[in-house]
Every structure is written in structure tokens, then in C-alpha cells.
């Protein structure tokens, strides 16, 4: 019997197919063009692989298929069997005698497989982990078919043998009023099989799915998508989302032909950063958090570049270099930063710091805090002071991180505030020449 779609709490090993029979071994036919689907996460990739097989005249037949290196029968879900009746899935007979082949005999019913979604598992036990081999796994399917001929079925699995990283450049001119944004994603395929796939990237970790049901993961592999909202919007890669992922590295351009974006100089005071962010729903109520040491006073000279929400939706986070093209055509690096991080996912602008703002400093002070257990809320009042020793007024962005938790609201703010991410806001104010400006806000966390 083939096991599919088990409820929550059952390990991925429960997707293993029972060993029930045997038969002839025709070879698998090559997959058709753009028949696969790959969804890239930060930690793993979801693969939907279409396999075509040729079945000879027989009540039962054994057909050979190839899947990614390190994948065993217990790591697979059969998403669509078409007209085939699949009664058994096992490691190919020739591989049984090879040491360490196909996950070390993971098809044996006497062994308990590690959960490939377990973040605490030893990497050597994960699909694709613990070995540099790129030899694909050969498996056997025992199938019944209504007639002889060619048939197709779709398999789903998780692998860490497809990895990726993204990077960006912003290029401006000496006028520094516009910038052109370009990017690329590099995908490395070490599965041992070539995939011509509809490819998407989701800037988050699949590991967050470990508390969801196996049915939901099966739905995602089948292209249905999760039943609850994803943390990041999927981004299609390649022409119409179709990418040829051969062995080794494949580079895909992002934002080709994107028009120049408006850019302007701005001062930024960001004393805390994201290092204290607690993503949970219940706030961290430790009164010392964020107030136990003196916050830095550095204000940065920065550039803000307008973000086109529709064009950049779902773009993965990555480092960026801001470059200036000189009259002779050469490029000079003005600054470096990071784009499209989760902390800035809903921001209207991207910010790149280029140095310290001389003559302008900031100070951060917590004025009050209170915890109300009866009403399940925690409030905090913070004051930010900007001192300007320059002979001209300055505009400044005060960036604050609501690091105690994600269930928050601003009860009061003395300057216009914008939400930039789940735990990040910006408050904008003007500071007079040789003067001072104060920004006060009160945040309330609930649970």
C-alpha cells in the first residue's frame, strides 16, 4: 500500500511506500520540457519532478527512475500518479550493495529515517546533506498500468542540494538624483539531475513549516500553496518563471530594463538595528531590553531610493552596492547595504548609508515602561534627541525597531511615522541649524 498525506505529527518517513512486489526494469524516458517545478527557500528547496516511464505488456512492471542525490523512498511524496497504480517504491536493486547508496538503504522498513525538515537533525542525515556526491538516486517503482506504453507521474521532495543567493547594484551619476537598480540570483544545482522547471523563490525558511501538517506540505509541492499566508511573496524567476537548472551554477538576471528610480540625500539615525528583534507574538517584557547600555550616537549620511512595490514584490534579500559612474565611465563605490530584508518588507524606500554625518548626533532614552498583566499589555515610552551643529537645517529619518514582539501599536508619536516592516518604523523630522529636535513615541505591545 502507498502512504500519502498523513496528518500532523507523522514524520516524513511516513510517506515511504511499502515494499510489496517486483518485476521487469525498463528505463525511464526523459522528462518533457518545463515539466518540473522548483520553489527555492533559504534553507531547502521544494521540487516537483515529472517523470515519464515506459511500461511493457505486463500486469505488474518495475520501472527505474532517477531523483536528486541523497533522496530516498521515505523522502518522496507521489503527487500525481496519472493512470498508474503504484504499489511499491524502493531503492534500485543495483544500489543495495553499494555502501552509502541512496541514503544508506533508507528504503528498508527496519530503519527509522530522520525528518528532513528537522532543523536540529545532523546535516549528514538530511536529504542531500553530509556528502559531496552529485550522483542522482536511482529508485524502482512497481506499477500496474491499463495498457503498455508511456506514462507520466509527478514526485515531490525536499532537498538542500539546490542553493541560491541574490545580490544587487544601484548605479547613479554625479548628480545623485536617480539610481538604476539591477540584481541577479545565482542558483547552484548539485542534485545530479537537470531540471527544466517553473522556478520560484520565497525569501523565508521552509523550516517554519515543520509545525504544519504533511497535507499542507503536499499541497505546496502540488502547486496549491499553503493554506495560511506566506511570510514572503513568491517571485518567479527566468522567462515566464521557466529556468533550465543544469549541473553547477545558473545565474538569472533580476529587474532587467527597470527604469531609473528617484534618489535623494537623507540623514538617518538608527541606534538599535535589528539585533534585538524578537519575532514572537508575546512580547519580551524584560525592562532591561534595549535600555541596558547607551545607544550609539552616530547619524549616517545616506541615500534613499524610491521603491516600486509592484516591480520589487517578492525580490529576495541580498547585499547591494551603490555605485557612481564618473564622467570617464569608471565606477566608484559610494556605499554598501542590504535590500529587501524582512525588516523593510513594506518600506516605500531603500536606504544606503555612505558615511558618518559630521556635526549631527543622536541620543536615545527610554522615559517610561509599564506592564499590565490583567489587560495583557506592555507599554514603553522612548525619546530620541537629534543635535545639529551645522549652520543649516537638516532633515532626518529616525529609524526605530519595535523589538519586543510583533503584536504592537503606536499609542502616540510626535512626528509622522511609517511602518517599514513587521518590527520597524521610521519617524521623520527637521532639525534647525545649530539646534535640536526631539521625537517621542509610545508603543504598546499586547499578547
pLDDT in tens, 59-88: 889 999 999 999 999 998 899 999 999 999
| Cα 405 versus chain centre, distance | 21
Q: What is the per-residue pLDDT for 291?
A: 84
- 124 band by pLDDT with thresholds 50, 70 and 90: very low
Q: What is the mean pLDDT of the chain?
A: 82
Q: Which three cell numbers stand for residue 397?
A: 529619518
Q: Considering only 179-183, 215-219, 237-241, which range has the smallest mean pLDDT?
A: 215-219
pLDDT at 344: 93
Q: What domains are there in the chain, each with its CATH number?
A: 12-159 (no CATH), 261-307+347-446 (2.60.40.290)
Q: What are phi and psi of 350, to 5 degrees?
A: -110, 140
Contact (CB, 8 A) for 154 and 50? yes
The pLDDT of residue 215 is 56
When pLDDT is averaged across residues 95-107 and rounded to a whole number, the result is: 43
Predicted TM-score (pTM) of this structure: 0.78
* pLDDT higher than threshold 60 for residue 164: yes
Distances (CA, A) of 325 to 164, 169, 244, 334, 376: 29, 12, 34, 10, 54
Q: For residue 417, what are the contacts with CB-CB under 8 A and spacing of at least 6?
A: 410, 425, 426, 427, 441
pLDDT at 149: 92
Mean pLDDT across 236-248: 88
CB 200 within 8 A of CB 206: no
- pLDDT band at 294, cuts 50/70/90? confident
What mean pLDDT is predicted for residues 254-259? Answer: 92
Q: What is the mean pLDDT of residues 413-422?
A: 96
- pLDDT, tens digit, for every residue of 334-349? 999 999 998 999 999 9
Cα Rg of the chain, angstroms: 27
Average pLDDT estimate for 302-311:
94
Amino acid at each position: 500500500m502507498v502512504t500519502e498525506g498523513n496528518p500532523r505529527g507523522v514524520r516524513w518517513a511516513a510517506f515511504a511506500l511499502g515494499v510489496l512486489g517486483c518485476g521487469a526494469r525498463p528505463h525511464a524516458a526523459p522528462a518533457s520540457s518545463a515539466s518540473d517545478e522548483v520553489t527555492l527557500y533559504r534553507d531547502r528547496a521544494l521540487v516537483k519532478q515529472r517523470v515519464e516511464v515506459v511500461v511493457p505488456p505486463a500486469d505488474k512492471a518495475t520501472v527505474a527512475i532517477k531523483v536528486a542525490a541523497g533522496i530516498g523512498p521515505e523522502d518522496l511524496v507521489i503527487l500525481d500518479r496519472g493512470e498508474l497504480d503504484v504499489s511499491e517504491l524502493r531503492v534500485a536493486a543495483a544500489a543495495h550493495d553499494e555502501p552509502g547508496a541512496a541514503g544508506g538503504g533508507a528504503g528498508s522498513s527496519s530503519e527509522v529515517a530522520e525528518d528532513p525538515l528537522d532543523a536540529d537533525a545532523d546535516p549528514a542525515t538530511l536529504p542531500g546533506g553530509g556528502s559531496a556526491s552529485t550522483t542522482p538516486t536511482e529508485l524502482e517503482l512497481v506499477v500496474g498500468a491499463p495498457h503498455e506504453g508511456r506514462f507520466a507521474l509527478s514526485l515531490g521532495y525536499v532537498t538542500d542540494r539546490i542553493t541560491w543567493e541574490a545580490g544587487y547594484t544601484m548605479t547613479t551619476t554625479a548628480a545623485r538624483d536617480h539610481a538604476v537598480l539591477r540584481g541577479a540570483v545565482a542558483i547552484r544545482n548539485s542534485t545530479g539531475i537537470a531540471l527544466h522547471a517553473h522556478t520560484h523563490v520565497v525569501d523565508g525558511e521552509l523550516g517554519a513549516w515543520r509545525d504544519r501538517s504533511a497535507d499542507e506540505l503536499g499541497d505546496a509541492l502540488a502547486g496549491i500553496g499553503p493554506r495560511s499566508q506566506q511570510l514572503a511573496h513568491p517571485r518567479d524567476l527566468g522567462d515566464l518563471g521557466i529556468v533550465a537548472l543544469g549541473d553547477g551554477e545558473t545565474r538569472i538576471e533580476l529587474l532587467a530594463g527597470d527604469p531609473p528610480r528617484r534618489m535623494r540625500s537623507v540623514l538617518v539615525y538608527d541606534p538599535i538595528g535589528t539585533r534585538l528583534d524578537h519575532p514572537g507574538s508575546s512580547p519580551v517584557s524584560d525592562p532591561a531590553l534595549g535600555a541596558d547600555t547607551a545607544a550609539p550616537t552616530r547619524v549616517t549620511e545616506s541615500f534613499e531610493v524610491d521603491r516600486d512595490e509592484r516591480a520589487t514584490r517578492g525580490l529576495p534579500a541580498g547585499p547591494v552596492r551603490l555605485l557612481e559612474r564618473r564622467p570617464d565611465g569608471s565606477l566608484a563605490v559610494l556605499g554598501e547595504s542590504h535590500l529587501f530584508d524582512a525588516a523593510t518588507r513594506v518600506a516605500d524606500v531603500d536606504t544606503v548609508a555612505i558615511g558618518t554625518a559630521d556635526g549631527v548626533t543622536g541620543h536615545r532614552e527610554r522615559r517610561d515602561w509599564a506592564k499590565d498583566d490583567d489587560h495583557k499589555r506592555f507599554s514603553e515610552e522612548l525619546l530620541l534627541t537629534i543635535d545639529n551643529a551645522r549652520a543649516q537645517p537638516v532633515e532626518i529619518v529616525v529609524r526605530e525597531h519595535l523589538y519586543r514582539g510583533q503584536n504592537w501599536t503606536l499609542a502616540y508619536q510626535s512626528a509622522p511615522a511609517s511602518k517599514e516592516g513587521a518590527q520597524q518604523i521610521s519617524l521623520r523630522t527637521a532639525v534647525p541649524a545649530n539646534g535640536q529636535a526631539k521625537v517621542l513615541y509610545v508603543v504598546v505591545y499586547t499578547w
